[in-house]
Structures are given as C-alpha cells and as structure tokens.
Structure 1
Amino acid sequence: MAFVITSPCIGEKAADCVETCPVDAIHEGEEQYFIDPDTCIDCGACEAVCPVSAIFQEDFVPEEEKDFIAKNRDFFNK
C-alpha cells in the first residue's frame, strides 16, 4: 500500500515531500506531484512534511479525494 497525493497539491507543489522521500518515489506532474506506488516504501515521511496536508495512505484517502488514487496510478502507467 502506497501513499497518494490529493487535490490540495494542485498548483501548490511545495516539494517538501520530494526532498524527504528516501527512495525518490515522488515525481512532478504538470499540476501536482505523484507517488510511484511501485517505489513507495510506505514510510510516511512525505505525509509528515506536506504543508497542505495533501498526502494520505491509500486506505485513508478521504472519500471525496478517492479519484486521486487512480490518477496517481495512471500517471505511472503512461
């Protein structure tokens, strides 16, 4: 189970999470960052430093943000 970046990141892209990720799982998209579910080690370091609280463990993504789980996976399946 990986972490997922949701809508508060759109347009924000503070990048604190990128610098914190120990396995370089976070990649920049056009509007936001995405976490590679195959690389993420589920450590939670990114969640702790996100200034806009956009990062959630996949099982705890708020209902209204669930579409970001698929958006995240699709970003890496191009």
Structure 2
Amino acid sequence: MFRLHRKDLIEVWEDIVSIKELVIALIVNSFTTMGGYFLAPNDPPKPLLFGLIGAMIGFSLCTILIRPKRIFEEEERGE
C-alpha cells in the first residue's frame, strides 16, 4: 500500500499526483488545445483537427516538464 508522505500529493484514479503539477498540466493543455482551436481556419473539420493537434502538443510538453512520482517497492514473498 502506498502512503502519502507529503501534503501536496493527492490520489487521482488510483495514482498519486502533485496538486501543483496537476494544475500546471491542466493550464498547459487547455492553452494549447484552445489555442489550436481558435487559430484554425473556419472550415468545418479544421478547428477540430487543430484542437486535437494542440492537445497532443500540450501532452508532449507535459511529459517533458513533469516527471512521474511513482515509487516502486519490491517485496519478497514468503513461500
């Protein structure tokens, strides 16, 4: 069982995340997704395409900026 040692960590969907980095990721992804959507030409499929490309760019930026916080502990099983 994983124990929360720091107060700035929360559990989201059975994973441990930092509140600060979660907010940063939300801001980065929102900015890139909406930026792509609003910069797109007004032809019907292009805003969706540009928004999806913006979301992928935001995701890529977040994987570079934010490192995982997982800690794996190896335990021996008694037989």
Q: How does the TM-score come out when normalised to structure 2?
A: 0.27
Q: With a CA cutoff of 8 Å and minimum separation of 6, indicate the structure with the bigger relative contact order.
A: 1
Kindly indicate which of the two structures has a greater share of residues assigned to strand.
1
Greater helix fraction, Structure 1 or Structure 2: 2
Task: Decide which structure has the larger Cα Rg and report it.
Answer: 2
TM-score for the superposition, normalised by structure 1:
0.27
